[in-house]
């Protein structure tokens, strides 16, 4: 099914697991069959293309079943997942965001580009960093205070 929400699990070390998620997180997402995980777990959310309210409920239920996980990290959070972290209490659970994509626009070409960032790069949520590419200067393409709210920094 195109856009179906699927995951791939990779054991990195004895107590370290990487889970790659792809597709649309919605009411059809079957997270009830998600396996029990333990130890350090990293969720790679780069492939999550959409999140609906039905998907939010399923996601929060999944997080509540991760009692064997000692540390939960999120990497490469897609723009839709950042939106949900900002809007929905409990969407992040006990997880820590280590990296995320942010929407930028090239001033010269008007092309949109998703830039991979870390929380450490945002020192002021009112003034996101600018980037330069061969095509031109990239400027942040959203309301910074709203987009970076999940970082909790002023």
Residue in 32, 40, 99 with CA at minimum distance from that of residue 59: 32
pLDDT tens by residue, the chain, 154 residues: 456 899 999 998 778 999 999 999 999 999 989 999 999 999 999 999 999 999 999 999 999 999 999 999 999 999 999 999 999 999 999 999 999 999 999 999 999 999 999 999 999 989 899 899 898 999 999 999 999 999 984 4
136 CB-contact burial (10 Å; exposed 0-12 / middle 13-18 / buried 19+): middle
User: How many other CB atoms are there within 10 angstroms of residue 14's CB atom?
Assistant: 9
C-alpha 96/C-alpha 118 separation (Å) is: 11
Q: What is the pLDDT of residue 89?
A: 92
Residue in 47, 41, 36, 65 with CA at minimum distance from that of residue 6: 47
**Domain chopping of the chain, boundaries:** 1-98, 103-144
Q: What is the pLDDT of residue 154?
A: 41
- Tokens 């070390």 belong to 13
Q: What is the pLDDT of residue 80?
A: 97
CATH of 1-98, one of 3.30.300.100, 3.30.750.24, 3.40.50.720, 1.10.510.10: 3.30.750.24
> Using an 8 Å Cβ cutoff, are 54 and 30 in contact?
no
Q: 3-state class of 135 per DSSP?
A: coil
């Amino acid at each position: 099914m195109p856009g179906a929400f699927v995951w791939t699990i990779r054991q990195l070390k004895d107590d370290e697991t990487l889970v790659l998620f792809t597709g649309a997180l919605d009411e059809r997402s079957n997270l009830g069959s998600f396996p029990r995980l333990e130890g350090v777990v990293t969720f790679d959310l780069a492939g999550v293309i959409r999140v609906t309210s039905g998907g939010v409920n399923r996601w929060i239920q999944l997080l509540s079943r991760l009692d064997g996980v000692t540390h939960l990290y999120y990497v490469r959070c897609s723009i839709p997942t950042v939106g949900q972290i900002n809007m929905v209490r409990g969407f992040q659970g006990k997880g820590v965001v280590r990296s995320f994509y942010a929407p930028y626009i090239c001033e010269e070409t008007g092309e949109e580009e998703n830039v991979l960032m870390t929380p450490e790069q945002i020192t002021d949520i009112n003034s996101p960093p600018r980037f330069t590419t061969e095509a031109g200067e990239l400027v942040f393409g959203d309301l910074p205070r709203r987009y970076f709210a999940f970082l909790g920094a002023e």
